[in-house]
Amino acid sequence: MSSITPTQSISPLPLVAESVSKQYPGGLWANRDISLTIGPSEILGILGPNGSGKTTFVRQITTETLPTSGQITVFGVNVVTEPTRAKYMLGVVPQDWILLWDCSVYHTLRIFGKLRGLNPKAAANRARELIDELEMHTFQNRVFATISGGERQRILLAMASLAQPKLLLLDEPTTGLDPVTRRQVWRWIRQKREQGSSVLITTHYMEEAEVLCDRVGIMYRGSIREMDTIAGLRGLHAGEFKLTYTPDGKESENIETIYGETDQELVDQARAMGIEEFAISKTSLEDVYLTIVGAKEGVTW
């Protein structure tokens, strides 16, 4: 398991969390002993079931929720002791949002740009840039109350990027989006990395993590259980290939899976077991996720 990226320069890393825990009154732990870093121009994905602590961790970085113990720094700035300074270096897309219901998209971006410290001219220019980046021309003059969920999500991405922060925190940014809009958002996130920003993204979508993330952490009951590249996770918990078959050789919901390092290894194993009908494919991140989370739940897939 690799949870810490080696420091590649003497500059402070975009995000460092050291033994971060949150316990609520009454004894409930929201998360425990989270340690991770994000390197320059890296996209780190956090996967986990509902209630696993992903959003709580994001809120600890933004200081909406203070850690019970541990430390979080953003470019070397402690988020608890210097919250205002840390927030200026962040761009955040939360799960819960409140926007100016009766303002147009363009004016909303201008207002929030000025709140982020841009002068009026710079805020107007930046609003137009982001409308171009996120393809919002068709609804830029409509008020927030009249636009769709996918359009609102693009506005939130634009707001997070107004001050061109070098660290973006995206808490399930594509939930509820249609496939076309989701891929537009993916393209935008990759552009942010190419422009030098680092990204922390929480998601339920395995394909999203595979497409975007340099490393993936799997969170379960408030703790990071594994973190590595997708290739590293596959090698540690499954294998490069998987063989699937039904024990009775007929169509059935009872599908068995065998993992291996090569397809030939799996073919030989199938023949040795007397399996005549089977399928072989590359192992996916979903296979790894189900293996790790299923083992914690005592479930086999």
**Across the strands, what pairs with 85?**
none
- Report the sign of the C-alpha dihedral through residues 211, 213, 218, 221, in that order: negative
At residue 17, the 3 state secondary structure works out as strand
Q: Which of 120, 182, 194 is nearest to 157 (CA)?
A: 182
Whether 43 and 57 map to the same domain: the answer is: yes
* Residue 278 φ then ψ, to 5°: -160, 170
Strands of the sheet containing 198-203, edge to edge, are 90-93, 167-171, 198-203, 43-47, 215-220, 223-228
Domain boundary among 107, 132, 159: 159
DSSP character for 117?
Answer: T
- What pLDDT score does 251 carry? 62
How many domains does the chain divide into?
Answer: 3
- What pLDDT score does 293 carry? 77
Whether 35 and 61 map to the same domain: the answer is: yes
Q: Which of 42, 34, 54 is nearest to 204 (CA)?
A: 54
* Residue 292 φ then ψ, to 5°: -70, -50
pLDDT in tens, 183-223: 999 999 999 999 999 999 999 888 999 999 999 999 988 99
Residue 239 has pLDDT above 90, yes or no: no
Domain residues for the domain of 34 are 1-89+165-237
pLDDT in tens, 118-154: 999 999 999 999 999 998 999 999 988 788 888 888 8
- What pLDDT score does 249 carry? 58
Q: Quick one: 98 exposed, middle or buried, by C-beta within 10 A (0-12, 13-18, 19+)? A: exposed
Whether 176 and 259 map to the same domain: the answer is: no
Whether 10 and 61 map to the same domain: the answer is: yes
Residue 289 has pLDDT above 70, yes or no: yes
CB 46 within 8 A of CB 219: yes
Determine, yes or no, domain membership for 50.
Answer: yes
CB 20 within 8 A of CB 67: yes
Determine, yes or no, domain membership for 28.
Answer: yes
Domain boundary among 107, 141, 159: 159
pLDDT in tens, 91-116: 999 876 666 668 899 999 999 999 88
- Enumerate the H helices of 74-216 as residue ranges: 83-87, 105-115, 120-133, 149-160, 179-194, 206-212
Determine, yes or no, domain membership for 94.
Answer: no
